[in-house]
Amino acid sequence: MRTSKFFKTGLLLFVASLGLISCGDDDKEPEIVVDPVSENVEYYIEGKVVADNAALDGVSVTAGEATATTDENGQYSLTVKDKKTYTVSFAKEGYRTVSDASVEIANNATNRSLVTLNVTMSKEGVAVAVDPESDKVITEKGEGETEDAQTVLTIPAGAVSTATDVTLTPYLEAVATDVTPGSKEEAIPMTNIAISSSQDAALNQDVTLSVANASSSDYYFDEVEVYEKTNARAIGDWKKYADAAFDKATNSYIAAIKKGSSLNKDYSIRVKSEKNVSETKNDEILKEDNSYSNAGNMSATTYDIPYTAKLGWEISASGLDEGALSLVKAAIAAQEGGSEGVYTVNKTFTAHVSGDYILYFSCKAKYVEKEYTFSIAGKKVTVKVKHYLGVEFVYTNQSSSMHGGGSIG
């Protein structure tokens, strides 16, 4: 009897020891991360700055507390923390400061998503002394420097009542890319011109403003208008001022700044267009559906996912000859921001992966497609534009016990 009792006790101890062994690492609860990227919420504002159709380095870029400097490719990157509209400024000595550009991190933006803002900067014009007794021809380069000048202001004798210094600076406003779907007719800016005078007085007679055509004189826009800025501090606050006429002899668009007007004012030379904008799309995969497995490891871990994002815009204009194409490109560049061309930026997305989980992820480009139609030398011309708006990163953490080999779509 005693032998049987000892045998039963030993058997119970053996079974108990097996139970203790089975409660090892394999039975630990996995460490769960609620959101793979919630520990570091941030969004990116990326873009390119150009001047005279070339990349501009050394530009200071600021959005709130976020700052950056453009590199040799004119590219910059800002990291921000909140979903809101940001005012972005661009500054470099010798160039007209852009202080009112804006970009929005939308309420539905996913964490680590990227939006783009491309900007064209202009050199400050050269001041010219103007007096009541003399005719003056002024360009952004100075007095009488008309060769390769973009804008020309002709002031006849007697147009001003007192001596003054006048500066002419062509520029483009940095406006958010139009992503409102649908068709519309509008006059889009080819260029804006800031005219400033050290003595602000009304003109005694008309002066002439000329803006160079962006192609040969065989190719020109038929419908061009002049707008004036009604509020110097407000972006987009313009009203029609006059029509502009194309002068084939000088290959330029000409308009009169009328008697009684001030020389301290901004004007915009605009071409009529028909524009059709698609819905925003995100069906272009930048990084294929992929996964990282932390199955079998009960501890959460981190995983770095490198990817390449597309930014910028490109034109598709089959059958359009070079003369008309150069004209159209100049007008669209003023509307879309920066210069034509798609460029890339390399980013790394750091994610946390739960214990015994698998992280599924993909990276998608966001873009819109547009059609612009212009009247050029009596003919309708239509081109297509694809504008990349940024990046959407899609991800999900899934228990390895639920693993089915699918994708996140």
* pLDDT tens sequence for the chain (409 residues): 444 443 444 433 333 444 444 444 456 788 988 777 666 788 999 999 999 889 999 999 999 999 999 999 999 999 999 999 999 999 999 999 998 888 999 898 888 888 889 999 999 999 999 999 999 999 999 998 888 899 999 999 999 999 999 999 999 988 778 889 999 999 999 999 999 999 988 999 999 999 999 999 999 999 999 999 987 666 668 999 999 999 999 999 999 999 999 999 999 999 999 999 999 999 998 887 789 999 999 999 999 888 888 899 999 988 888 999 999 999 999 889 888 899 988 888 788 899 999 999 888 899 999 999 999 999 999 999 999 988 887 888 889 887 555 445 4
Match 């006048």 to its residue by tokens. 166
Yes or no: say if 361 and 393 are a contact pair by the CB < 8 Å rule.
Answer: yes
Half-sphere exposure of 150 (CA within 13 A, CB side): 19
Write down the pLDDT at residue 404.
Answer: 54
Coil, helix or strand for 160? coil
Coil, helix or strand for 329? helix
Which string of b and e fits 369-387 if b means at least 16 CB within 10 Å?
ebbbebbbbeeebebebbb
Q: Would you put residue 19 in left (φ > 0), alpha (ψ -120 to 50) or beta?
A: alpha
Match 């669209």 to its residue by tokens. 332
Cα(360)–Cα(406) distance, integer angstroms? 9
Residues 6+ apart with CB under 8 A from 261: 202, 203
CA neighbor of 105 nearest in space, from 63, 65, 62: 63
Cα(6)–Cα(24) distance, integer angstroms? 28
Phi, psi dihedral angles at 401 (to 5 degrees): -70, -15
Cα(297)–Cα(208) distance, integer angstroms? 76
- Pairing outcome for strands 238-247 and 341-353: unpaired
- Pairing outcome for strands 224-229 and 357-376: unpaired
Say if residue 162 is exposed, middle or buried (CB neighbours under 10 Å; 0-12, 13-18, 19+): exposed
CA neighbor of 69 nearest in space, from 82, 54, 58: 58
Cα(22)–Cα(29) distance, integer angstroms? 14
Which residue type is seen at 272?
K
Q: Token pair of 100, please?
A: 């009112």
Coil, helix or strand for 15? helix
Cα(235)–Cα(403) distance, integer angstroms? 52
Cα(360)–Cα(382) distance, integer angstroms? 42
Q: How many angstroms from the chain centroid is the CA of residue 333? A: 12
Which residue type is seen at 312?
G
For the chain, the distance separating the N- and C-terminal CA atoms, rounded to the nearest angstrom, is 69
CA neighbor of 371 nearest in space, from 270, 239, 275: 275
Which residue type is seen at 185?
E
- For the CA atoms of 176, 373, 237, 127, the dihedral, rounded to the nearest 10 degrees, stands at 90
Half-sphere exposure of 406 (CA within 13 A, CB side): 10
- For the CA atoms of 191, 136, 141, 229, the dihedral, rounded to the nearest 10 degrees, stands at -30
Say if residue 363 is exposed, middle or buried (CB neighbours under 10 Å; 0-12, 13-18, 19+): buried
CA neighbor of 391 nearest in space, from 16, 17, 43: 43
